[in-house]
């Protein structure tokens, strides 16, 4: 069972392969080799914990940028950890320091993409939306535009290779759903709806399914399928939300 050494100060978690996939598990113990490496760094860096964390974050960002480039250029099965190391211009050992396999690197990149979607959900709109329906539609169309601009996003989140990754990233999907619920409350005098975030997450799953179909057929999210996915999300949410919800008296932005 493979594991990746954590140098980000997150001593409670590690990567470990699990039933052909990958998960986060509690750390049990460090290997003697890892302890030796840490002792060496202790002698070299006076402010050891902070310096190691900063170096680790910088190295992880470098590896993520390299992985992002590769995923945008190649099919996922054509990418190895060695390719990531070469693109980042670091030793392969530096890649293994973070990721036991390429799936772990893809997983981390997918988390970044979902964080981008969350930021899109909370980004200021150009104008106060006329209705909650127009807000949902605009967010769906903006997400489709983001995906089309980044082929790697479609390969990871819409392609057939990584259906398991989307299951493992349920928390990320709910983060996006919660961001959209916050935006709805920001712009509108929302009624009380039980488990609204769950319902918005279901709407996101509908959008994902329709846009995945478009990607499988056309290699991109066409305008037609983007509009269809927005329509599906709105129609589903109309089962729980009234057609007219008063707007809040507030500044633009969320």
pLDDT band at 28 (very low <50, low <70, confident <90, very high): very low
Locate the domains of the chain by residue range: 3-100, 110-237
Lowest mean pLDDT among 7-16, 126-135, 166-175, 210-219: 7-16
Mean pLDDT (the chain) is 80
- Over the stretch 130-174, which tens digit does the pLDDT of each residue have? 899 999 999 999 889 999 998 888 888 887 665 666 666 677 788
- Over the stretch 142-153, which tens digit does the pLDDT of each residue have? 889 999 998 888
| The pLDDT of residue 42 | 46
The average pLDDT across 35-43 equals: 43
Distance of alpha carbon 36 from alpha carbon 124, whole angstroms? 49
Distance of alpha carbon 132 from alpha carbon 55, whole angstroms? 44
- Over the stretch 230-248, which tens digit does the pLDDT of each residue have? 999 999 999 999 999 999 8
18 against 213, higher pLDDT: 213
Nearest Cα neighbor of 247 from 179, 183, 190 is: 190
Residue 236 host element (H or E): helix 223-237
- Over the stretch 200-211, which tens digit does the pLDDT of each residue have? 999 999 999 999
119 against 217, higher pLDDT: 217
CB 237 within 8 A of CB 134: no
Distance of alpha carbon 67 from alpha carbon 106, whole angstroms? 8
* Sheet strands (E) in 64-175: none
Nearest Cα neighbor of 162 from 68, 19, 21 is: 21
At 147, is the secondary structure helix, strand, or coil?
A: helix
Nearest Cα neighbor of 71 from 35, 37, 45, 107 is: 107
Distance of alpha carbon 4 from alpha carbon 61, whole angstroms? 16
């Amino acid at each position: 069972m493979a594991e990746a050494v954590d140098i980000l100060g997150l001593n409670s978690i590690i990567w470990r392969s699990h039933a052909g996939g990958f998960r986060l598990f509690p750390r049990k113990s460090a290997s003697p080799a890892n302890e030796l490496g840490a002792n060496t760094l202790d002698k070299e860096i006076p402010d050891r914990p902070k310096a190691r964390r900063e170096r680790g974050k910088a190295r992880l960002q470098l590896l993520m940028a390299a992985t992002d480039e590769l995923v945008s250029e190649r099919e996922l099965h054509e990418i190895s950890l060695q390719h990531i190391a070469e693109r980042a211009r670091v030793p392969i050992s530096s890649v293994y320091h973070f990721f036991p396999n390429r799936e772990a690197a893809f997983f981390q990149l997918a988390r970044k993409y979902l964080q981008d979607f969350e930021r899109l959900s909370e980004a200021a709109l150009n104008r106060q939306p006329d209705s909650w329906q127009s807000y949902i539609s605009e967010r769906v169309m903006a997400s489709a535009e983001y995906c089309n601009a980044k082929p790697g996003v479609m390969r990871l989140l819409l392609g057939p290779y990584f259906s398991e990754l989307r299951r493992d990233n349920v928390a990320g999907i709910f983060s996006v759903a919660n961001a959209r619920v916050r935006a709805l409350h920001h712009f509108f005098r929302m009624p009380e709806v039980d488990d609204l975030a769950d319902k918005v997450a279901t709407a996101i799953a509908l959008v994902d399914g329709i846009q995945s179909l478009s990607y499988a057929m056309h290699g991109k999210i066409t305008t037609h399928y983007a509009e269809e996915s927005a329509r599906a999300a709105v129609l589903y949410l109309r089962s729980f939300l009234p057609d007219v919800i008063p707007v809040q008296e507030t500044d633009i932005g969320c």
